Structures are given as structure tokens and as C-alpha cells.
Structure 1
Amino acid sequence: MKKLKNKKSKELNLGNNYNNNVFNENLNPIEVPGLITVNLQLFADSGEKTEKPTPKKRRKAREEGQVLQSREMTSAIVLLSIFLTLKIAGSFIYEQLYLNFKIAFIDLAQVPDLYTLQGIRKMFAETVLQFLKIVAPVFAVALLASLATSYAQVGFLFTTKTLAFKFNRINPINGFRRLFSLRSVMELVKSILKIAIVSFIAYSYFSHEAVNMLKTMDMDIISIAVYICSTALNIAVRMCIALLVLGVLDYGYQWWEYEKNLKMTKQEVKQEYKETEGNPEIKGKIKQKQRQIALRRMLQDVPKADVVITNPTHFAVAIKYDPKVADAPLVIAKGQDYMALRIKEIAKENKVEIVENKQLARTLYSTVEIGEKIPPELFQAVAEVLAFVYSLKNKVRAM
């Protein structure tokens, strides 16, 4: 019975150890007698981008020209601004066109030197001037709308990195991948939606205006031209409004894709932290080296001290007073425990006086840093110690 129980307990312990090994935190290789060794790290996806982009990642992407921008929204706003300008300034444009035709075909025809080189130049200049008066406001509005929309989405950005040659742009394999990517599918969907929107709006408007279009047979040429322009502008404005809605949806998709592409793996975040903040191990070694250098310099200054005030075993503070350097005594070295012992050893080797004052040594160690002056509240106590040391030195010299 005991052998059977021992056997069962061993099997139970083996099972527990197996479970603990399988679900251990580090996913180390599993080695169990009679089973195949499996390394679960092979199944871990270490390259999955799950972390949000850091500010440095966003800045770098922006410098490289990777910005959040919807061209559909920009195009829709620019076209809408153009057609609204034409609709609002329609009477002005009509007057300018009428004036342009009048100048070209009536007024200039009465010029005596019309068929000379000078007359042709004058006619051309007048025609171009009138044409610029018509198109300049429209172009100005389109330019302002384009700049305002781009600035609202991107802000001010000037970079030439997007113009740099990249081999992957002409790589046929990458091109084939882009052909069947999600972005290509979305571009196809947007194109189909635009065609459908334009077709639906045009069909709806013409169906509604069918009766009025038949009435144009009884109109004069100018009225027909005005009606055609008005109809075309109304259709264009409606199409642009619909495309603007599509542009807003496209902006949402562009934001999602932009954030997705900027995401980082955990390894990239760690690597960036090391590059930005420095490798913690290297920083620790640098700090340790700096402390060693500072301690070495401090110990080198101990022989210059006038006195070393001790606790006597736990604290040691080296004091130097030189009226030419400072108006108060300076702490040039201090240490605790082992470092206090080293300061006292160096002081003895260089015949620097050592004075025991427990309270003063502890206070100086905790309140005054190396290279700092003695605070006013400790002047009296330190002055008494220095006076005692100077008196001892004078006695030695007198002997």
C-alpha cells in the first residue's frame, strides 16, 4: 500500500511540475520524460504592432512626408468653392463675357490700325485683360480653398524626402502587393461610389427638369445659355456636396489607416526608449564611473584640508578655510563608514588634524554638500574647531 501511495504521489508531483512548466511565465522549453520538448516562444508573434506610436515616431513620419490627409475632402472642397463662386458671381461673369465679346467684335473693329501689328497687339492685350478679370477671382478662391483645407489637415510642412528615389516604388513585387492591398480595394470602392453618386444626382436632376428643358425650344439663344449654365452649376454644387460627405468618410478611413501604419512593436518601443533615454545599463555604468571619478577627486583634496571633523567612526568631514578663495570655510570632502575611514587614513598620512565632534560632524555631513560653504548657523562651531587646530599648529611651529 505504501509503495502504491508513493508511486501515485510521485505521478501527481510530476503532473504538477509539468503544468507549472507548461504555463510558466517565461515560456521556457518544456522537458518532461517521455514527452517531446516544445519551445512555446516559437508561437509568439513578437513582430505584431500593438503599441501606440510615440511622439518621436509621429515627428519622424511627418518629417518623411507621412501625414494624415484626405485628397477626396480637399478635391471636394476646392470644386465646391469654385462652383459656388461661379454661381454667386454669375452676373459679374456674364457682364465681363459680354464686354469681352463687345470689345473683340465691335469696338476693336472700328480701330483704324486694327490690321497692323500694333492693332493686333492692342486687341490681344484687351482680350487677355478681360479674360483675366473673369478667371482671376475663381482661381483665387480655388487656391485659398486648397491652401486652407491642406493647412487644416496637415499644417505647415515643407519636406523633400517624398521626392527622393526609392527602389521599392518601382519594385514589381511591391507593386503587385499594392494592387491587392486593402488600400487599393478602398480606392476602388471610392471610385465606384463617386461614379454612382454623380450618376444618381445627374439622373435625379434631369428627371426633375425634363419639363423645363422642353421649354428651352421657345427661348432665345441668350436665355438658353443662361439656363444651361444655371442647370450645370446646380448639378455641380449638389455633386460637390455629396462628394464632400464622401470626403469626410474618407478622412475617417485615412485616420484609421494612418494610426494603424504608425503603430509600433514592443521591441521598437524599447529600442526607441534606449535611443532617447539611453540604455539603462550603459547609463548605470556611466553614473558609476562618474561617482568613482568624483570620489577619487574628493580623496585627492583631503590633504589640502585644515581639519577633518569625525563622529568618530561613522562620519568624516574635511574642512578648508582660505580667505582668498571664499569668505567662509568650505567642505572639500565627506564620507560615511568606509569612506569616512579612508578620509581619516589619508588625513593621518598627510598630517591633517583630526578632531572628534559627533554632533558637528553629523550635521555637516547631512546639511552641506562637497564644495559648499559652511552655513551661518555653524560658523561658531566650525570657527572654534579651526581656532583649536591653528593653535596646535602654532605650538608645533614654536617648538
Structure 2
Amino acid sequence: MSQLRLDLQFFSGEKTEKATPKKREDTRKKGQVAKSQDVNTALLLFFIFIAFIIIGPFWKERLTGLYQKVFTEYLSWEITFDQLHIIFIDVLSYIAITIAPIMGIALVIGLAANIIQVGFLYTTEPLQMKLDRINPISGAKRIFSLRALVELLKSVFKIAIVGTITFYVLWSNKDEIMMLSFGSLDGALSFLGQTVTTMGISAAIALLILAVFDYAYQRYDYEKNIRMSKQDIKDEYKNIEGDPLIKSKIKERQRQMAMRRMMSEIPHADVVITNPTHYAVAIKYDETKADAPYVVAKGVDYVAFKIRDIAKNHNVVIVENRPLARALYAEIEIGHVINETFYQAVAEVLAYVYQVERKA
């Protein structure tokens, strides 16, 4: 039954296998990665409120300075277009300098949160125009999909958590809030700043905890979406390595070409050492090419027969030496010089060949 189930999965195309490294790389290039937006939001919220605590005195000084400048300087100016333009540029520059630290922190944390999750990734694939995105049927499927339902439930749950934390912080400080009208302005601003940062940091910590679970879910969903069937893996292997049938034909063609080159060298050999029927090794000695004799062709059975046949047709001397033929075939590759261990035996064979040629 187990074997039958595996076979059915193979032919049905069911995606049960983990994605291959190539599939992961391809989906990453398309911008499809395991990423939780909640991680970005939680980290951004947390560090921004931490920054509020650090730069709180700076902001207080800047805002009170702007308040004083507006009511002590700008109100005494004559209202003209040029004066309004100056006031507008002055106030805008003042506000830009005031919020610049927060904007810088938000930019750095936003980039860091993405790098932590997916690393450095630059792709324009998600920005490309795709017709299926404006297809109402595909859009309806995305809206009413399981993923959309999960995202809706997550959003409702996050709103409930943040609302509960905010209400708890306010309720815990309700007595102080009621007494704000009897205190000083500095005290009220300090209390409000402390309360707001407490609510923000508490909500950010809660969202960060939820973000850990959301990232785990996004990771699981990503792995599920990029699963492959056995046929997908087989097709990918074919695309990378090539069709096995084509590769076998190429290798066969290469073997044929190598065989033809080897056979073309036999007429130039000095001697063919044989087994005499099973092995044949063609030897040549050329001082201009090598310091020692080298093998130009070798083979067994049918190839050995062809080597002997070509040698006979071109009057190449054939010498029967069974141990030497076997040893040369086993240890020396085509085009390589012989080892020192064969020098004596091969020298005796070549001396015999040269003697026969001189007599002839």
C-alpha cells in the first residue's frame, strides 16, 4: 500500500516534496520570500517610542521654541505674500529638523527588519505589470481565500490586543488624568508623554511577541507554497543537467570520435603488443614528442581485433606478449608515456621490431 501511494503521488503531481535549492533561488529572485510585516511594524513601533524617551527633552524644547516664535515674532509681522512665504519656509524647516531624528530611526529600523528576515534582496519582479492582478476572478479568489481570512483574523486580534493594552494603561492612570487640570503645564506634558510612551512600548512588545508567531506561520506557508511534486523535481533536473537520453547520445558520439582518432594513430605506431586475442596496445617512440615510448591506442576484444586488423593492413609489427599487453592496458592511458617499470620490456620489444624492420 505504501509503494502504491508513492506511485500515485508521482503521477498525480501532488506537491509533497521540499523545494530544491534552485526552486528557492528562483522564487527569491521573484521577490517571494518568507516575511512577516508584523515584525517590521513591531520593531518600528518599539524603537520609535524608545527614541521618544531619549529625544523627549529635545522635542519639548523645539516645540515650545516654535510656540514662542509664532506668538512673539510672527504675529507682529505685516501680512504679505512674501512674509507668508518666509514664515512657511521657516516653520517647515523647523519642523523638518525636529522630526529628522525619528525619520532617520524609522528608515534604519525598517531596513534592518527586512534584512533580518530575508537578507539583502533587490528585485523588480513584484513591480512588473501582470494582467492576472487586474483579473476580477483572480482578485475575488485572493480576497476570499484562506490566507485572506487568516490575515483578517490576525488584524482583528492585533487591534484587540492593542486596544486592551491602551485601555489598561489609561485606566491604571485615571486618577492622575483627572488631576491634570490642577497641575502645571510642564507636569501635564511630562505625564502625557510618559503615558503615551508606556502605551506604545507595551503595545510594541505585545505585537513583537505576536510577530514571532506570525513569522513562523509565514515561514510555514512559504514552504507549503513552494513545495514540488516528484515530476517537478524530475523536470528541473532535466533542465539543469539535460535530458539523460540526449546526454547519453552526446557521450556515445564523443566515444565514437575518440575511437576514430585513436584508430587513425595506429598506422603510425611502431609496434602492437597483443594478448594475442583479448588485448592489444599500440606503442610508438618519437624522440621529438616524448622522452619515452607512449601508448597511441589500446583496446580489448572487438577493439583489440580492430587494432590488430589496422596494424596488419599498414604493416605495423605485431608482437605477442600476454603479461606486458595486460599490464600496459591496465596502467597506461592513451597518449601517456610508459612507466619506468616497463622500460626494459618495451625496449626489448622495440629492439626486436627495429631488427625485423632492418632485415625487411
Normalised by the length of structure 1, the TM-score is 0.83
Give 1:195's aligned residue. 159
- What letter is aligned with 1:225? L
Give 1:363's aligned residue. 327
Name which structure has the greater RCO, CA cutoff 8 Å, separation 6+. 2
Q: Distance in 2 between matches of 1:192 and 1:218?
A: 38
Aligned-residue identity in percent: 45
Tell me by how many angstroms 1:361 deviates: 1.0
Give 1:87's aligned residue. 53
Q: Structure 1 residue 70 and structure 2 residue 36: aligned?
A: yes
Q: Distance in 1 between matches of 2:83 and 2:249?
A: 87
Alpha-carbon RMSD across the aligned residues, in angstroms, is 2.5
1:311 to 275, 285, 293: 275
Cα-to-partner distance string for 1:197-219 (whole Å, 9 max, x where unaligned) = 12211221121111111111202
SS of residue matched to 1:84:
helix
Q: Structure 1 residue 54 and structure 2 residue 13: aligned?
A: no
1:350 to 298, 311, 314: 314
Point out where structure 2 has 5 or more consecutive residues left out of the alignment. none
Give 2:113's aligned residue. 149
Give 2:213's aligned residue. 249
Give 1:135's aligned residue. 99
Give 1:210's aligned residue. 174
Q: Structure 1 residue 293 and structure 2 residue 284: aligned?
A: no
Change (3 A) 1:25 1:256: closer
Give 1:269's aligned residue. 233
Q: Structure 1 residue 386 and structure 2 residue 347: aligned?
A: no
Change (3 A) 1:307 1:174: same
Larger radius of gyration: 1
Tell me by how many angstroms 1:380 deviates: 2.1
Give 2:66's aligned residue. 100
Tell me by how many angstroms 1:108 deviates: 6.9
Cα-to-partner distance string for 1:187-235 (whole Å, 9 max, x where unaligned) = 1101110221122112211211111111112023343233223222221
Change (3 A) 1:335 1:43: closer
SS of residue matched to 1:319:
strand
Q: Distance in 1 between matches of 2:28 and 2:298?
A: 52
Q: Distance in 2 between matches of 1:43 and 1:68?
A: 26
Contact 2:35–2:218 (CA<8 Å) still a contact in 1? yes
Contact 1:104–1:127 (CA<8 Å) still a contact in 2? no
- What letter is aligned with 1:271? D
Change (3 A) 1:120 1:175: closer
Counterparts in 2 of 1:153-168, with a 5 A limit?
153-168=117-132
How many residues align? The count is 359
SS of residue matched to 1:332:
strand
Change (3 A) 1:42 1:279: closer
Contact 2:285–2:293 (CA<8 Å) still a contact in 1? yes
Point out where structure 1 has 5 or more consecutive residues left out of the alignment. 1-22, 28-40
Tell me by how many angstroms 1:275 deviates: 1.4
Q: Distance in 2 between matches of 1:362 and 1:225?
A: 100
Contact 2:10–2:231 (CA<8 Å) still a contact in 1? no
Tell me by how many angstroms 1:282 deviates: 2.3
Change (3 A) 1:44 1:302: closer
Change (3 A) 1:206 1:117: closer
